[in-house]
């Protein structure tokens, strides 16, 4: 008798505010989106064989894979990372379909990892699923990413953004008003995380925290002036101020003060540009153009930076470019039926 059909779906995410804070025990405000990745297959055999609707070559991964980063083609690394973390007893044969643009900064890799883990039989809480997928991502890509992307995908809530405290790992739904839209606009610059400056930024934040104590515990960005190195000063200033901006956006959303939300998004972009230095002239020009458009409440680069996407909060219908995304539920799996 052949195995039952498994369908596992995991959403991508867009981050409304709070970038480069997750790996510093800070605050983030992403939302899972109604674009995502679906793995359909049967648990059988002693390897994972997945064909893709968007990639020419299948991912074929042995259950005892030793080095996920060496898997080929490139997208198979993420599958291999999950296999190496989960070590399932049975393989999987199936297909992967996605509505996410790959490499745009909407966490296509996190969605793939989370969906593959569920398809392979992961059974546990969303936080544990996210932690497994984060470890898989780090193994696959070599990038020391935080937990935001995988946790947003695993723990999404329809209609709400997620306030994630990356110290306690508490996730608090933050409902979005009905009369706003979230748009994601690609800069046209392919985001390159692996081998990029992400690890360097994280190391700088950790060096600053080694001197100042956890940046999360500071409220005043001016404390960064105590550091000797002007680069570390800027990096620490961004993280401390960004945590405060996440808090203020949560308060402003609850109060219906969208002007304040827009102002915080503008300040976040400026901080990522000037202090954290992860923007690009193309992203800056795109943000400038979008915020000058009537009905746009705020816009900022979203995710790691170095290219990728801008997120804009708008009045309904203000923009007709990019992707209109809605806050969606987190990952799910069905077996048989």
76 binds ligand GLA (CB under 6 A): no
Question: Least distance from C-beta 256 to ligand GLA, angstroms?
Answer: 26
Peptide bond into 199 cis (omega under 30): no
306 binds ligand GLA (CB under 6 A): no
Q: Between 63 and 310, whose beta carbon lies closer to ligand GLA?
A: 310
**Among 26, 81, 94, 303, which residue interacts with ligand GLA (rule: CB under 6 A)?**
303
Determine the interface stretch with ligand GLA among 18-26, 223-231, 252-260, 264-272 (rule: CB under 6 A).
18-26
Residues 255-294 vs ligand GLA: string with x where CB under 6 A? ----------------------------------------
Q: Which of these, 68, 64, 216, lies nearest to 139 by C-alpha position?
A: 68
Determine the interface stretch with ligand GLA among 20-28, 122-130, 203-211, 233-241 (rule: CB under 6 A).
20-28
Question: Least distance from C-beta 44 to ligand GLA, angstroms?
Answer: 32
**Among 149, 216, 218, 253, which residue interacts with ligand GLA (rule: CB under 6 A)?**
149
Which pairing describes strands 309-314 and 296-301: parallel, antiparallel, or unpaired? Answer: antiparallel
DSSP state of 212: H
Determine the interface stretch with ligand GLA among 56-64, 141-149, 227-235, 318-326 (rule: CB under 6 A).
141-149
Q: 170 an active-site residue?
A: no
**Among 9, 20, 43, 237, which residue interacts with ligand GLA (rule: CB under 6 A)?**
20
For residues 65 and 80, the answer to whether their CB atoms sit within 8 Å is yes
**Among 22, 25, 113, 181, which residue interacts with ligand GLA (rule: CB under 6 A)?**
22
Separation CA 271–CA 284 (nearest Å): 12
Determine the interface stretch with ligand GLA among 15-23, 46-54, 74-82, 96-104 (rule: CB under 6 A).
15-23
Residue 171 three-state SS: strand
Separation CA 7–CA 171 (nearest Å): 25
For residues 283 and 310, the answer to whether their CB atoms sit within 8 Å is yes
Q: Which of these, 243, 238, 10, lies nearest to 120 by C-alpha position?
A: 10
Q: Which of these, 41, 102, 1, lies nearest to 333 by C-alpha position?
A: 41
Q: Between 39 and 148, whose beta carbon lies closer to ligand GLA?
A: 148
Determine the interface stretch with ligand GLA among 89-97, 144-152, 232-240, 328-336 (rule: CB under 6 A).
144-152
Question: Least distance from C-beta 22 to ligand GLA, angstroms?
Answer: 5
Separation CA 43–CA 123 (nearest Å): 14
Q: Between 301 and 313, whose beta carbon lies closer to ligand GLA?
A: 301
Question: Least distance from C-beta 187 to ligand GLA, angstroms?
Answer: 15
Give every CB contact of residue 71 below 8 A, 6+ residues apart in sequence.
59, 61, 65, 77, 79, 80, 140
Out of 19, 22, 149, 275, pick the active-site residue: 149
- E strands, the chain, in order: 5-17, 27-43, 47-52, 59-62, 92-98, 160-165, 171-175, 181-186, 296-301, 309-314, 323-325, 332-335
**Among 297, 304, 312, 325, which residue interacts with ligand GLA (rule: CB under 6 A)?**
304
DSSP letter for each residue of 81-147: HHHHHH--SS-EEEEEEE-SPTTSSS-HHHHHHHHHHHHTT--S-HHHHHHHHHHHHHHHH-----S
**Among 9, 23, 116, 275, which residue interacts with ligand GLA (rule: CB under 6 A)?**
23
Length of the chain: 337
For binding to ligand GLA (CB under 6 A), which residues are involved? 19-20, 22-23, 145-146, 148-149, 303-304
Positions annotated as catalytic residues are 149
């Amino acid at each position: 008798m052949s195995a039952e059909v498994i369908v596992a779906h995991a959403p991508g995410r867009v981050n409304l505010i709070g970038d480069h804070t997750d790996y510093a025990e800070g605050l983030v405000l992403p939302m899972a989106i109604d674009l995502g990745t679906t793995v359909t297959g049967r648990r059988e055999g002693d390897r994972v064989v997945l064909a893709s609707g968007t990639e020419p070559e299948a991912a074929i991964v042995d259950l005892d894979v030793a080095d996920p980063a060496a898997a080929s083609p490139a997208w198979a690394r993420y599958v291999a990372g999950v296999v190496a973390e989960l070590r399932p007893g049975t393989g999987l044969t199936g297909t992967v379909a996605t509505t996410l643009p790959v490499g745009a900064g909407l966490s296509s890799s996190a969605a793939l990892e989370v969906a593959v883990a569920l398809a392979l039989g992961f059974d546990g809480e969303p936080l544990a699923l996210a932690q497994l997928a984060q470890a898989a991502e780090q193994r696959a890509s070599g990038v020391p990413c935080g937990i935001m992307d995988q946790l947003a995908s695993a723990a999404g809530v329809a209609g709400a953004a997620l306030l994630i405290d990356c110290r306690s790992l508490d996730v608090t739904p933050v409902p979005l008003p009905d009369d706003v839209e979230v748009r994601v606009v690609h800069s046209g610059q392919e985001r390159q995380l692996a081998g990029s400056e992400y690890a360097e930024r994280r190391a700088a934040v950790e060096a600053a925290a080694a001197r100042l104590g956890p940046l999360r515990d500071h409220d005043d960005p001016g404390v960064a002036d105590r550091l000797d190195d002007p680069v570390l000063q800027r990096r620490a200033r961004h993280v401390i101020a960004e945590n405060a901006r996440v808090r203020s956006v949560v308060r402003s959303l609850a109060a219906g003060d969208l002007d304040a939300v827009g102002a915080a998004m503008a300040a976040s972009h400026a901080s990522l540009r000037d202090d954290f230095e992860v923007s690009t002239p193309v992203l800056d020009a795109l943000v400038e153009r979008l915020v000058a458009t009537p009905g746009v409440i705020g816009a900022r680069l979203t995710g790691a930076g170095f290219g990728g996407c801008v997120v804009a909060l708008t009045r309904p219908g203000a923009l007709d470019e990019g992707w209109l995304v809605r806050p969606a539920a987190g990952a799910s799996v069905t077996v048989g039926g």
